[in-house]
Structure 1
C-alpha cells in the first residue's frame, strides 16, 4: 500500500505487526539507499498503544489496515470517529467450488498450493473446498495422499513445502481448532498435530490437516483459522454451493473449477465476494486492479491497489475557469451550463 501512497505524493508511516517487524525495517533501509528522502517512508514499531496514537492523531489524514476482522472493525470505527479516510481489510474464509466436470488434477494442485502455502497464514488461502454432486469421493481420494506427503521443515531448506507457524501461541490456536473440528464431528483424514522435526523439537511446526464432511455450523467452517487446515464440504448442487458461500460472513475471495462457461458466468455474476477466480487457485487480481473483499472482509469504501488505491491516497479537486475574452457582458443568475 505504501508504494501507491508515496507515488501519489504522500508521506507514509508503516506500523508493522510486533510479531514480524524485520521486513519493514529492511524495506526502509533499501528505500533510503535508493535515495528516498528522509521522512517520506517511516516505520514505527509498537503494540496497540502505537496504533491508537496513529489512528487518533490529527496529523494523520488516512489509515490503511490489513488484519483480523475484530481489529479491522475497531480500526475503521475509531479512525472514522476522528474524521479520517479508512480502508480496513479484515478476515477471510475463501471457498473453492469443485464442479463434477472439473479437472481434478488441477483442482488438487490448486488446493495444495493455495491451502497449505505459507502454512495457510495468508488472507487469500483457500480453507474450504466445496465438492458439488458426486465429485466429493474422487476429490478426497486424490487429495488425501498429497496432504500426507507435504514436506514440512524450516524455510531455509529449499525443498520444504511448508514452514512453521509464526508463534507458539498461534500454533496452539491452530491445534485447538483441529481439536474442535474432531469434537464437533468432522472426519479428520489427515492429522498434522503430531509433526516433530529432529533438531527443531521446539519449533512451531504443524503438518497439513484435512477434514471431510464439515458442516456449516462447525467452528472450523465459520471461523478463520489462519493455518494449514483444509475443510471439505459436500453440497448436492451448484445453487446450494453458491448459497453457502453467499451466506458466510466473510466475502474476501472465492474460485470455481469447472469446464462449463455458463456455470462459471453464473458463479462470477451471483457470488457476493470481492475477488473471484475461475480455474485459478488464488484469485488475487494483478496490482493494476483493486484488491479487497465484501461483507465483513472489508470496512470502508475503497479497496487497495489499482484505481481504488489511487482514489484513496488522493483528493479530488475540480477547477472551473473562464478567460476575460470569452466572458459575455452582464450578470448571470444561473449555475454554469453547457451552451
Structure 2
C-alpha cells in the first residue's frame, strides 16, 4: 500500500508538478526552506490527515505565486485509484471522482506521521502521547475520529458554560457515554501498543511498560462510574478554574522503564530509541488489525540521533513492508537501500538510488 505519484498545484512553496514515488524508503534531502516538510504535508493531506501544523487553518496555507486561495493535490495509489483533494476553507475529497470523507480516505490509505517533536514523546507533553494513541485508533476503529471530535466539541461547550458561571450538568450527561467509550478504546489502544512493543525488545534498552492514566479520574475501574464520580469530586474545582479537568482530553500514557519513570530513568539517546520503538509499534499495530502496512512520514527524526541511533532507526524502518517518506537535512551518508530525492526551491531536482 502506497503512493505511485502525487501532483502539487498551488501548494505552499512547492512548484506545480508531478512527483513520482517508489516502494520502500523515499528520502528527501535539502536545506532549510527547500520544501521537504511541505512535500510531506501534502502527502499527509492527500491521506486524509490534514496539515502537519497542528491547529493550522486551511486558509493560512499560502499558495505557489498564483494569487489563488485554493490548492489542489492529486495522487495515484498502487491500487490505481486516483485521489483528489482541493484545499480551500475546508477540504473537498474525491476518490475516482466520488466524494468521500477524510475518515474514508484514512481507511483506504493508512498513514502515520511523526514530526521531530514526536521524538520527545517520552519526556514531552501528554498531548504528544495522546496523539500517538489517537492516530493508531483512528486507523483501526472507523468511528473513533468522529467520536473524538464530538467529545472535543462537548468539552469546548462545557468550558464556555464554566467560564460564564453556568451549570454544566446537561453537557456532562451528554459527555458521559463519549468519555467512557473513549477511555475504553484508549485502554485497548495502549494494550495493543504494549503487545507490539514487546516484539521490539532489541530497540528498547529496558523493559518498557505503558498504561493509560485517565484524565482527572482513576477512582474506579468502570469507565462510566469513574467519570461520574470524578465529576462529583472535582465539580467545585472545575467551577473555580472555569475549565473541565475530568475526561479524556486530559489523559496521559504512563511510560516506565524497568518500573521507573522512563523520562528520568533513561538517557536522552535511549529515550530517542524508545520513541522510535513506539512509532514502529504503532505501525505494527495497524498492520495487525487491518492487514495493511501504513505509509510512514518522518520529518527530521534523525536530528538528535547519534550514528548508532540513526542506524537503528533505518534498519528498523527498512525491515518493514511499508512505503516510507523521511525528510532530513543534508548531507546524508548512510549506505542504506533507498531512493534519495534532492529538494531545492520547492522541487525535486534529482532522484537517485542510494544503494
**Higher relative contact order (Cα pairs below 8 Å, separated by 6+ residues):** 2
Say which one has the larger Rg. Answer: 1
Instruction: Tell me the TM-score normalised to structure 2 length.
Output: 0.32
* Structure ranking higher in helix proportion: 2
